[in-house]
Amino acid sequence: MSTNLCKDTCDCGFLFNLKDFVDKPVEFRQKSDYAPQMGVKLVCLDCGMVYFGWIRRSHTFWEGVKECFDKDIISYPYISGNSNTKNTNKGKFAKRIGDDIYELGCYQIDLSYYETFNDEGEGIEVEEPRGLIEEDHELTRWYH
């Protein structure tokens, strides 16, 4: 059991985007002693399934192979043997200005079922979803 579904689409195929997060009340979910996850309740406009959605952000994507971001093949110099693979993100997450390459970073929308805050559930509305928190957690708060 995982806290996320590793996807940004509903079971019916509806794709959630950044606009779906706008004007929604923020909720915090927590599993065990891990840091709270900030997100919102997302309801599929096509089938009515209910999810807890959040956004992960990364400053980098290419990690040492950014010279390959706009190439057909990525060559991983730190892997022995067959270190070449097809670039499925060609041209994304970076830009080339002259001879320099600048990473743009990336973000990822992720979902869990609303009622359970994990990858198992029915996607239904509930009054007290699992893992909902409203207080600080001293073990995981940086400044306090």
Indicate the pTM of the whole model.
0.83
Question: What integer pLDDT is reported at residue 140 of this predicted model?
Answer: 85
Cα-based distances in Å from 98 to 2, 32, 101, 120? 43, 48, 8, 48
Structure tokens at 54: 């959040």
* Each residue's pLDDT tens digit, 90-143: 999 999 999 999 999 999 999 999 999 999 999 999 999 999 999 888 888 888
Strand partners, 50: 43
The dihedral region occupied by 117, where left means phi > 0, alpha psi between -120 and 50, and beta the remainder, is left
Higher pLDDT, 134 or 39: 39
Indicate if the pLDDT at residue 1 is higher than 80: no
